[in-house]
Structure 1
């Protein structure tokens, strides 16, 4: 079933992959952090490294439990090795994208033929999924790689024969544990649902009973459970918040941002995999020739698994109203294999087919370059123009206040060693604010109320501050500084003000530009 290929035949594959990986790493170094996502998650990892607190992910010094910590552990480790930068933060999603391509290649190579494995790996690597998703700092690419790897491991273990391959199965349990540590329950639920549907279709239940359940669940428990136990002991209410509010609540809720119809994910997937998505329909035709049963080959077994894989996950994420493109990244290895099958059917035997493949592979690369360097990038929400000024002037003990929004990227860029003091009418916001940065902060503060009282201050607390302490204020640009402050650096989104003790003393209700001038909505984390 498995085809043996001489080493020289695989050389073009590795040259192509090395070229695409080099392009990915170059793109990851060419743009600033996007906000809110990249600023948020890169800063949580930097703070973990700087503070030495590897148990609790923190946003602005407050416990942030929207997701488990594996992404931040890996990013903090990468920053510790190569230094703190946007590029080092992006090494983890880049490595996850490589893992996704490698697991696809190895899985297809094991069951089908090497030519199909090479084609599928190149389709995935020469796509926006790899070149764009692999340079974006959030949890989506990492959890998608673990979910895909878990599905491949269990499927290959069950296809091994009447007695499943024990080591592959244990590796599948490990991937599920790492997925759980990355983004919660979907790291287990999605592989489980896909495999449940496929096993039922393939009638493999007798083999399921022979999986190494005891040792596999032991591996899963040893990897996944220690953090949940230790963090839950230190922060009561963690489990109900993480699994209840942030998992089930977001899945079933109707008040979160980014609401789209059922058309959303099919359109997103077609766009993510361009130009290879045009070849997807042709993979359907190879299920069986007219009037014949589908051949029981390795390629056909994987083909059916992939269509089930795509259908289950797309339906799963289409049910909630809130939808984000990154959620369906776990289906892209399956789509890449299906597109490769479609290519093999329509183009593999044609003259100059490989030249056409190379030309088509240039399209995603050009699109990724355009998205990274093009004039369409929105820099108006960034703090890249004021962060260096703050970093150059900041001294130990200085307080940094912010009102009128939250600059997600500024603590990372300025390498702050103390949280920003965020000035808002917090008691009022608790009853009025929606799915935005304010809710992120005051819900994080609920885990450590004492720290929250210092970090999340009201205008009255701001007015009563110690006037002898040197302080800095970030406020929306285009507004005059409040009494007692002088402007130091004006940027597109933020203006940096310095305290001026010799200036007029602000009254108790001094006027601050604390309204969010750029709207309250944001990407759902």
Structure 2
């Protein structure tokens, strides 16, 4: 009896020690992720499109102080209904505005925090999936240093929240196989995804439930599982019911058809691409971790009968197929694939680390060490070429530092691999983290800002010289939600033909035009176009129409 009791106590002590170690690892990943995701978060302006829209809708909720129905029925500028996406992320941003004011840092903070939380959550998923600590550690390290995850997670968009709730769902799902009470979290996670991105939450939740049906169908007989689904979906059903009651069929048309289902069969807003679009996207931004994917595929084939292989195959394969057949292609649609890739690479790195340890102890050379060394030296040479290019340009010191850090990381990893040391894996993780810290410290992490004129000077011009709550027209070809956010005005694209033909003697139109278009205004004699203010590249023009009938106003 004593032997049995001592064995039980020893097992309990080991379990408690394991929990303490896991908590320490999760704390470490949390600190590292918070630093990476929040460092200089508000130094750059918001970009078009989603950042400007999310920040603007959240500001309208913040202005209502939650004492009106705006929090339930979100609005854009001047009361225009916003029925594109559910408002969970907009609620969180508006709460951040209450704490820190309306600025870039607060607009991006909720998404950045949720993205940071997803890193220790992925470690937890790795522990539940592999039942070992080492592949979970490597998977969390890869996920922490995965470029698209870091970049999109820092933006005021919905993708960081989706990743957090998706990984939480997988963690609860895996844990519920041993304790049915954890299945309560499955429904809550699916509900949170639905309140963030609508039908996407249903798709990702269905993939998770399909894995349960394949791997552990007995969970569907648990009352905890169905109670969790009911409680998790009740807020979703309540919000959608309120929208239908308030807006009627136009909400169904705009939210489900135009913004969701139509994206399957047609390229919405000209966002088209080939069926290989997302494969190329993964290859383009997968950085150094993609070199371990072939090894991971071999492990999937070897362990096909195990739960972890079933899970990653179903997760990646199903979602990749869904987004590939969709006609609308956007880079951030691939975001739910990246945690699965990180877990697969974590398994690959473990398969390298443990045989390396065994081979070194036996005095045997590490297999394929020259292949890995050659790969890292080749990648280092490519990065050095970019570094030399930026040095010769002489105008991009940030990019020189970033390329230098990455090149040094790859070179040291190659030397370490050539010496048959498994430490090259740690070199890659640590060097990638330092490279990304330099990247987010620069102005290049939101590289889309360089593709358009700086938004803040134009917004200041509009705000200073146009009346509040009055729409401003522009002859620029496209709308810019970030410009609407900073100017706090509707900026409606139109053309000179419509402006010339508009005949409303009671109204004077305010037009934002590129300075190159001012010459066009002077050639129009049927209307008085008067420049009232300008900065480099842009001008505010006052258009005074002549009495006559007016054509239909252009759609914003």
- The verdict on a shared fold, with TM-score over 0.5 as the criterion, is yes
- Provide the residue aligned with 2:37 in structure 1: 24
Per-residue deviation, 1:370: 5.7
Please say if residues 30 and 372 of structure 1, whose CA atoms lie closer than 8 Å, have aligned partners that are also in contact.
no
* Secondary structure of 1:71's aligned partner: helix
Q: What does residue 220 of structure 1 align with?
A: 232
> Which of 31, 43, 68 is the matching residue for 2:86?
68
Tell me which residue corresponds to 2:389. none
Bigger relative contact order, structure 1 or 2 (CA pairs below 8 A, ≥6 apart): 1
1:479 matched to 2:517 = yes
Gaps of 5+ in 2: 1-13, 358-420, 523-527
- How far is the alpha carbon of 1:74 from its aligned partner? 1.2
Residue 134 of structure 1 pairs with residue 153 of structure 2: yes
Alignment of 1:103-252 (within 5 A): 103-111=121-129, 112-157=131-176, 159-160=177-178, 164-166=179-181, 168-196=182-210, 198-202=211-215, 204-210=216-222, 212-237=224-249, 238-252=251-265
Deviations 1:122-147 (A, max 9, x none): 21111113320111222223223323
1:80 is aligned to 2:150? no
Residues 128 and 174, structure 2, Cα contact 8 Å, conserved in 1: no
RMSD: 3.6
Give 1:179 deviation, angstroms: 0.9
- In 2, Cα distance between the equivalents of 1:212 and 1:10? 26
Following the alignment from structure 2 to structure 1, what is the Cα–Cα distance between the partners of residues 294 and 491?
A: 54
How has the CA–CA distance of structure 1 residues 363 and 295 changed in structure 2, closer, same or farther, with 3 Å as cutoff?
same
Supply the distance in 2 between the matched residues of 1:3 and 1:301 (Cα, whole angstroms). Answer: 26
Which has the higher mean CA deviation after the structures are superposed, 341-350 or 13-22?
A: 13-22
Q: Where is the helix percentage greater, Structure 1 or Structure 2?
A: 2
Deviation at 1:310, TM superposition (A): 0.7
Q: 1:325 aligns with which of 321, 327, 331?
A: 331
- 1:413-452, CA deviations, whole angstroms, 9 ceiling, x for partnerless residues? 23x3xx5373748xx9xxxxxxxxxxxxxxxxxxxxxxxx
Conservation of the 8 A alpha-carbon contact between 2:124 and 2:171: no
Change in CA separation of 1:399 and 1:474 when aligned onto 2, cut-off 3 Å: same
Assess if the C-alpha contact under 8 Å between 2:37 and 2:113 holds in 1.
no
Correspondence for 2:316:
310
Q: Which runs of 5+ in 1 are unaligned?
A: 429-456, 500-504, 521-525
Alignment-derived partner of residue 283 in structure 2? 270
Measured in 2, the distance between the counterparts of 1:491 and 1:239 equals 44
Q: Is the 8 A contact 2:37 2:115 kept in 1?
A: no
What secondary structure, in the 3-state scheme, does the structure 2 residue paired with 1:28 have? coil
1:59 corresponds in structure 2 to 76
Q: What is the CA deviation profile of residues 461-501 of structure 1, one whole-angstrom value per residue up to 9, with x for unaligned ones?
A: 6743345xxx7532333222672532312244x423468xx
User: CA 1:312 to 1:464, structure 2 compared with 1: closer, same or farther past 3 Å?
Assistant: same
Whole-Å Cα distance in 2 between the matches of residues 461 and 335 of structure 1? 55
Mapped contact 1:2–1:110 kept (Cα < 8 A)? no
CA offsets per residue over residues 11-32 of structure 1, 9 Å max, x none?
5774565244323222522221
CA contact (8 A) 2:465 2:533 kept: no
Aligned to 1:386, the other structure's residue is in SS state helix
Tell me which residue corresponds to 1:96.
114
d(CA) in 2 for partners of 1:510, 1:488: 29
Is the counterpart of residue 389 in structure 1 residue 461 in structure 2? yes
Q: Deviation at 1:367? A: 4.9
Distance 1:121 1:373 in 2: 22
Shift of 1:360: 3.8
| Per-residue Cα deviation, 1:141-173 (whole angstroms, up to 9, x for no partner) | 32233233223322321x21xxx522x211110
Give distance in 2, aligned partners of 1:33 and 1:374: 9
Distance 1:361 1:461 in 2: 56
Structure 1 residue aligned with 2:271: 258
**Kindly tell me: are residues 287 and 263 of structure 1, through their superposed partners in 2, closer, same or farther at Cα, counting changes over 3 Å?**
closer
Identify if the C-alpha distance between structure 1 residues 176 and 48 changes in structure 2 by more than 3 Å, giving closer, same or farther. same
- State the aligned residue count: 459
TM-superposition CA deviations, 1:257-294 (whole Å, max 9, x none): 222222221222234432222222222344576xxxx4
Q: Deviations over 1:311-363 (max 9, x none)?
A: 11101111112211111211211211111111112246434332343224444
**Contact 1:254–1:321 (CA<8 Å) still a contact in 2?**
yes
Relative to structure 2, which stretch is displaced further, 325-334 or 106-115?
A: 106-115
For the Cα contact (< 8 Å) 1:151–1:195, is it kept in 2?
no
Asked if the contact 2:465/2:540 (under 8 Å) is kept, the reply is no
The alignment partner of 2:533 has SS state of strand
In 1, Cα distance between the equivalents of 2:500 and 2:301? 70
Q: Output one character per residue of 1:38-94: Cα deviation in whole Å (capped at 9) or x when no partner.
A: 222211211221245112222333112121111211111111211111121111221
TM-score, normalization by structure 1: 0.77
Q: Closer, same or farther in 2 for the Cα pair 1:102/1:47, shift >3 Å?
A: same
Contact 2:143–2:339 under 8 Å retained in 1: yes
**TM value normalised by structure 2:** 0.73
